[in-house]
Amino acid sequence: MLNHAEIRAASDLIWQCWREGRRVPALPEDIRPGTRAEGYAIQALLERRSARPLVGWKIAATSAAGQRHIGVDGPLAGRLLAEQVLPEGATISLGANLMRVAEPEFAFRMARALPSRTAPYTAQEVLDAVGALHVAVEVPDSRFNDFAEVGAAQLIADNACAHQWVLGPEVRADWQTMDLAAHRVIGTVAGKLHREGSGANVLGDPRFALTWIANELSQQGVTLAAGQVVTTGTCMVPLAVAPGDTVEADFGLFGRMSLRFVA
């Protein structure tokens, strides 16, 4: 079991790699998390590096494609730091980004807090706490060279591969009465790569993913706070991107958004 000094050392290393755009094969054995709880303890210290309040949370690996991409068999929660959140239409430098993918996602903004508690939250309780739905695109990355090999505990410590995230417009359609699982999303890269996905790729339904993270955080003693946003994971096979590419994500009645990549 890692002690506080070892947890801090692991978090320091992850943060240094993130800031400097460098990677390690894995965390050194003496500070390597062996459980999800230790991974979350390391991740939690990353939040203290931000000068602004936490924007919200991301869920990694909510689709089979996402799980294959990072080598896990289930979802992981990560933090959205304010400094890494960009507006719709943003120009993003790929820089040292190793993953080089864009992921269209459904994102929920909470109107009421869901505090940590013993009993699991039901899907209805979680949905009753939602204030709005947004469209979004995540641009993930990892601080590990072999991110598909290090396992869930280290990827959680690595903030569930969080890097940059683009918040799109609030959905004005009556999404509460619509079938989000069946809702089609189209991703286009540079006007050439064309890919379709749907909400069904997000743990079967983005609302199921939101319920999952509410309970995952609750089990860790963490409150999903009012005003925070949860982005629920890619609804299609991640879109490979390169410098010069423009990515468009078309959510139909829910809206559309774009972003551009440079070197």
Render pLDDT for 21-33 as a digit per residue (tens, 0 to 9). Answer: 999 999 999 999 9
Phi-psi sector, 244: left (phi>0), alpha (psi -120 to 50), beta: left
Query: What pLDDT does residue 141 have?
Result: 98
The pLDDT confidence band at residue 130, using thresholds 50, 70 and 90, is very high
CATH number of the structural domain spanning residue 154: 3.90.850.10
Query: What pLDDT does residue 63 have?
Result: 84
The pLDDT confidence band at residue 69, using thresholds 50, 70 and 90, is confident
In terms of Cβ atoms closer than 10 Å to its own Cβ (0-12, 13-18, 19+), residue 84 is middle
Specify whether the CB–CB gap between 257 and 89 falls below 8 A.
yes
Residues 6+ away with beta carbon under 8 Å from 159: 14, 18, 43, 46, 78, 79
Using only C-alpha atoms, the chain has a radius of gyration, in whole angstroms, of 17
The pLDDT confidence band at residue 68, using thresholds 50, 70 and 90, is confident
Q: What angle do CA 49, 43, 123 make, to 5 degrees?
A: 115
Query: What pLDDT does residue 125 have?
Result: 98
Residue 140 in this model has a pLDDT that exceeds 90: yes
Q: Which helix (H) or strand (E) holds 123?
A: helix 123-128
Q: Which helix (H) or strand (E) holds 185?
A: strand 184-189
Specify whether the CB–CB gap between 77 and 54 falls below 8 A.
no
Query: What pLDDT does residue 81 have?
Result: 98
For residue 145, which of 24, 15, 2, 13 has the smallest C-alpha distance?
A: 24
Residues 6+ away with beta carbon under 8 Å from 12: none
Phi, psi (5° rounding) for residue 260?
Answer: -130, 145
How many domains does the structure of the chain reveal? 1
The pLDDT confidence band at residue 65, using thresholds 50, 70 and 90, is confident
Domain that holds residue 215: 4-262
